[in-house]
A = this chain, B = another copy of it.
Amino acid sequence: MNNNNTKLLTIVTEAALESRLINDIEQLGALGYTITNARGKGSRGLRSGSWEASANIRIEVICGPDLAKQIANHLQKKYYDNYAMVTFTSDVEVLRPNKFSD
């Protein structure tokens, strides 16, 4: 594991945003993403996941630190005011870092 400069950006948000977010993330340059279904609670209240309207998703993007920052800032500007959304970033090591950034 030869690189410590790769980031894992995690986004937890409303399931209704899935296709929009994927569009945004890909347009900003991410080469991949992983999605899992989730439920939770935060400043916008309980999202129990019992039906579409209250379902969350959890998106993970492995990318370089600049892109991670860029995506997070873009999402904050575009969605934070109106949608339940949380993003956080952590350091990860990958075997082939160039797979995750052009």
- Mark A residues whose CB is within 8 Å of B: 1, 6, 8, 10, 12, 22, 26, 31-43, 49, 56, 58, 62, 69, 72-73, 76, 86-95, 99
The residue among A22, A39, A88, A91 with the most chain B CB atoms within 10 A of its own CB is A88
Contact yes or no, B99 A89, CB < 8 A: no
Contact residues of A: prevailing secondary structure = strand
- 14 A-B residue pairs with Cβ-Cβ distance under 8 Å, sorted by A, are A31-B42, A32-B41, A32-B43, A34-B38, A36-B36, A36-B39, A62-B86, A62-B88, A72-B95, A76-B95, A86-B99, A88-B92, A88-B93, A90-B93
Closest Cβ of chain B to A51, distance in Å, is 16
Contact yes or no, B36 A32, CB < 8 A: no
